[in-house]
Amino acid sequence: MSRLTLHAGVGVLAVGALLVLPSVARAAEARKVTFAKDVAPILQSKCISCHEPGSIAPMSLRTYEETRPWARSIKQRVSTRQMPPWHINKSVGVQQFKNDMSLSDEQIDTIVAWVDQGALQGNAADMPVFRPIETKLFWQGERDGYGEPDLVVKSPEYTMPAVSQDQWWRPMVDIPGLTEPRWVRMVEIRPSNIQGRKILHHSIAHVVMDPNDPDAEAVNRGIASGRPDRQDADDPSAIINARPSLMEWAIGKGYDRYADGTGKLIKPGQKISWDQHVHAVGEAITAGSELGIWLYKKGEEPKKRTHLVGFTGLKDGTIGLDIPPNAISHTEGFTVLKENTVITNFQPHFHLRGKAMMVEAILPDGTNQVISYVDNFNFNWMTNYIYAEDATPAFPKGTIIHVTAFYDNTKANKNNPDPDQWVGYGDRTVDEMAHAWMNVYYLTDAEYQDWLSKHGGKPGVPKPAQRTQQQQQ
């Protein structure tokens, strides 16, 4: 098996390495694996929300007749863990998630065995009962059991011509139905129609506050990621991340569920400022964005406010991103935590040349640990990895968050539009960028010491024994 190794300051990383799985599952060798009895239930549980008529996938996988022509391709995609789109490295960092859509080793073995045995249909009576095909937009949060959103904020729609340069659609709208201050516990952004999925690269919902609002906690001042060349007394990167935002959505992302006991406060009179990046796809499409908001019940307000941070992968700012033609490159970024900080999720963000991203914590004592590592990034799936409550890491003030980003500007990158181009920083899809979207909240010194007492006295990613101790308490 060949590996592509990249050398970074902290060591050697294997990027895009394939997970080796048995070609025939041992557990399935003694029996025949069929589509109806064994494979269809897996597809229904993990795949058909996208792989059904009218949805975003290129083919439907609901029936045997639809699935059989793709059998070998399915084997290749699932055995290398490209599909379902869950690209987190399973050997380092946080490994427990609230929204894990990945296949288990047993499920992968079953699909591989089915293909290797000839992709048999089996008894049609063994087929599971499939839910009706979706003919309209749905909220993933509702499908996952959280009910309908309490509020929905819609942006005006924008018509993108068939051929055009990238555009940025930034309207501002009211928050309808908000009559008193309320705490938000979960949010989800989706394109306003099915076709909109083709043109909408990202959509960010910023909160526009009343300039006279004394609510200072809404502004995030808990991080610093300055550069040696900065002239301002304040940190420009910190100012960008200080802006209150409910959510960043990008291609393939689901919802943001904030950690239990944390949330974001919205108030009457505030507005949503949309930042929507749209690109042309060869046909004229009219679409916008919709923001679903799930609220805490009255009387159950959270104790902590969460902030959305884009931890940078560019220590020298935008001028530091310089990717030669036909080359593998990497950049690094550093952000200081000025407060004791809990990190609750990880979503790497690149454009077409993005290949891998690792987020590490360098603690004040000089030790370091990996928080999360996506080693096989796919531009079409900006997956958000939401940490399980008992797996969320906490770090002391003074910790440095180190983001290492890797880029593949070669013809081996199937998403690369032109490996002969020199690529720099920019907002266009053909340009590049690198940051790790993470929601954070802060602990007082006393709260952080309490957290340590429940996690074996050690900061960072809780070990299994530490998680067991926390659960028992």
Q: Cα 269 from chain centroid?
A: 30
Q: Which of 412, 409, 391, 401 is closest to 463 using CA atoms?
A: 391
Instruction: Report how far apart, in Å, the C-alpha atoms of 346 and of each of 19, 265, 437, 439 are.
Output: 21, 22, 6, 8
Cβ atoms of 405 and 397 within 8 Å: the answer is: no
pLDDT at 237: 57
The CA-to-CA distance between both ends of the chain, in Å, stands at 45
Tally of CA atoms within 13 A in the half-sphere of 440 that contains its CB? 28
Q: What is d(CA 283, CA 164) in angstroms, rounded to the nearest whole number?
A: 10
**pLDDT at residue 153, as a whole number:** 96
Task: Work out whether strand 262-266 and strand 304-305 pair parallel, antiparallel, or are unpaired.
Answer: parallel
Q: What pLDDT is attached to residue 464?
A: 67
Domains of the chain as residue ranges with CATH: 19-126 (no CATH), 139-209+248-301 (2.60.120.230), 216-243+306-473 (2.60.120.230)
Angle of the 105-116 helix axis to the 71-79 helix axis, nearest 10:
150
Q: Are 287 and 203 in contact (CB under 8 A)?
A: no
> CA distances (Å), 293 to each of 141, 146, 189, 331, in order?
10, 11, 9, 35
For residue 222, the tally of other CB atoms under 10 A from its CB is 20
Question: What local confidence, expressed as pLDDT, does residue 239 receive?
Answer: 59
Task: Name the residue with tokens 């008992």.
Answer: 390
Is the bond leading into 156 cis (omega within 30 degrees of zero)?
no
Q: How far apart are CA 255 and CA 258, in angstroms?
A: 10
Reduced to 3 DSSP states, what percent helix, strand and coil does the chain have, rounded to the nearest 5? 20, 35, 50
**Sole residue written with tokens 């909220």:** 139
Are 447 and 439 spatial neighbours (Cβ–Cβ below 8 Å)?
no
Q: What integer pLDDT is reported at residue 205 of this predicted model? A: 92
Tell me how far apart the 2 most distant CA atoms of the chain are, in Å: 71
Regions of the chain with pLDDT less than 70? 1-30, 54-55, 135, 226-240, 464-473
- Residue among 438, 440, 436, 437 nearest 313 (CA): 436
Report the pLDDT value the prediction gives residue 267, as an integer from 0 to 100: 93
In this predicted structure, what is the pLDDT of residue 12? 39
